[in-house]
Each structure stands twice: as C-alpha cells, then as structure tokens.
C-alpha cells in the first residue's frame, strides 16, 4: 500500500535540546490503549506539554508560538526505551516529517523509517550550533534533500551529508511499503523454509 513520499523538505524547526528523551515521554503508556494509528499527536509529549490540571505548560516548546515547523531538532539518544511505534505515530500525526539528532535509539530509528518520518543524524557540534541558531532566530530554516542525502542549515549555508540505508531511502522516496516487498518475494521465503527443514 503506498505511503507518503519524502523527497525534499525545507522548513523551520522546533528545538528540544534534552538528552535521552525516551518514548514514554513522547507518548506515555496510558495513551497506548487505542487500536488505530490515528490521533496520537494530541498526546505527543503529554506530560511535558500539559500541567497536572490539564492546562498548557507555557514553558514547553510545543506551546511556544515562536517555534513551529516540520523538523524536530532533538538531543542525543532520542527515542530510547520502549519499542512503541505509537511514539513515531504521535510525532508524525503532530505534523513533523523529520527528526534531527546526534544519535537515535535503534528501534525508534527503524520505526521512523517504517512510517515516513526521516531520522537524520548530524555531528554533535553542528546539532548544538543549530539549537543555538533556532533559539536566536526561530525563522531559520533547514533544507533536507533525501535523494542527495544532504542536510543544510539555510541561513549559514552549512551542509552535511547524512546516511540512510539505500533500501529505506528508496522506500521513502517512492512511498513504497515493506510488506508489498515481502509479499513479492514469498516464493523465496517458502524455499528458505523448505531448505531449513532439510537441514
């Protein structure tokens, strides 16, 4: 089944410079009882975004009207902990299409790539400069070119190459789906099973 394609994204950013942000913060467990993929964006970062009494917490970046955009600029080790894909659904549903960090937790990275949310790893010093730049000038944009695997900070012109595995890159560029791929090679899977039985 086709998915949203990702080719080029130019956008302002939302900065979240905390380290080790785990998926329990992205979407707390008490919101995991749904049986569909939709609507998780409302509870993205729920316990940071709202106070105990349910008011918006004005200190939290998502409630700060200075910052908006489709790119979340996170701190190192983003997405650690639980494998809940709901974390990625929440980020995507809220409107982000890329997350930038100096490194991501493994499962979060896979889940992102499986949902059309592009995780981009950039060097720690560049990440820190980018955080500072966005704080100073929230209008600063970044330019992401997936086909050429480049990440550019528009106002400064700084550009770095990012890596992505070639298969996932093709999937994201074409909006292709893993299950269609697996169903297409079912004969190979069956012959693997038969070989294994013989051994």
Partner 1 sequence: MATEKNHTNLEAKTLYDKIWDSHVVRSIAGGPDVLYIDRHYIHEVTSPQAFNGLKERGISVFRPGNTLATADHNIPTRDQHLPIRDELSRNQVTRLSENCSKYGIELFGLNHSKNGIVHVIGPELGFTLPGMTIVCGDSHTSTHGAFGTIAFGIGTSEVEMVLAAQCIIQPKSKKMRISINGLPGKGVTSKDIIMYVISEITTGGATGYFVEFSGQAIRSLSMEARMTICNMSIEMGARGGVIAPDETTFNYLRKIPSIRGIDDIEAAIDKWKTLSTDEGAKFDRELVFEASDINPMITYGTNPGMGMSVDEAIPMAEKNSSEASPSFLKSLNYMGFKPGMSLLGHPVDYVFIGSCTNGRIEDFRAFAGIIKGRKKSDNVTALIVPGSKLVEEQMAAEGLIEIYTAAGFEVRQPGCSSCLAMNEDKIPQGKYAVSTSNRNFEGRQGPGSRTMLASPLTAAAAAITGRISDPREFL
Minimal distance in Å, beta carbon 108 to partner 1?
9
Q: Calculate the CA 19 to chain-centre distance.
A: 15
Nearer to partner 1, 30 or 136 (CB): 30
Q: What angle do CA 37, 40, 46 make, to 5 degrees?
A: 155
Check: CB of residue 22 under 8 Å from CB of residue 82: yes
**Strands 8-16 vs 141-145: parallel, antiparallel or unpaired:** antiparallel
Nearer to partner 1, 139 or 167 (CB): 167
Check: CB of residue 125 under 8 Å from CB of residue 102: no
Minimal distance in Å, beta carbon 183 to partner 1?
6
CA–CA gap between residue 187 and residue 191 (Å, rounded): 6
Nearer to partner 1, 105 or 142 (CB): 105
Site residues (vs partner 1, CB under 8 A): 1, 17-20, 22, 24-25, 28-30, 32-37, 47, 52, 75-77, 80-86, 88, 103-107, 110-111, 114-115, 165-168, 178-179, 181-183, 185-186, 188-189, 192-193, 196
């Amino acid at each position: 089944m086709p998915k949203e394609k990702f080719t080029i994204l130019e956008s302002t950013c939302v900065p979240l410079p905390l380290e080790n942000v785990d998926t329990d913060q992205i979407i707390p467990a008490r919101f995991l009882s749904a049986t569909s993929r939709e609507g998780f964006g409302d509870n993205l970062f729920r316990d940071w975004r709202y106070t105990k009494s349910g008011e918006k917490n004005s200190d939290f970046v998502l409630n700060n009207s200075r910052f908006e955009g489709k790119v979340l600029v996170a701190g190192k080790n983003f997405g650690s902990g639980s494998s809940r894909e709901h974390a990625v659904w929440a980020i995507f549903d809220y409107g982000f299409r890329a997350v930038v960090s100096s490194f991501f937790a493994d499962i979060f990275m896979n889940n992102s790539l499986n949902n059309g949310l592009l995780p981009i790893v950039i060097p720690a010093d560049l990440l820190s400069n980018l955080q500072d730049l966005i704080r100073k000038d929230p209008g600063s944009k970044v330019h992401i070119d997936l086909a050429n695997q480049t990440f550019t900070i528009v106002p400064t012109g700084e550009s770095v190459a990012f890596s992505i595995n070639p298969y996932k890159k093709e999937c994201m560029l074409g909006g292709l789906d893993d299950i269609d791929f697996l169903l297409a090679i079912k004969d190979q899977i069956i012959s693997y099973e038969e070989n294994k039985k013989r051994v």
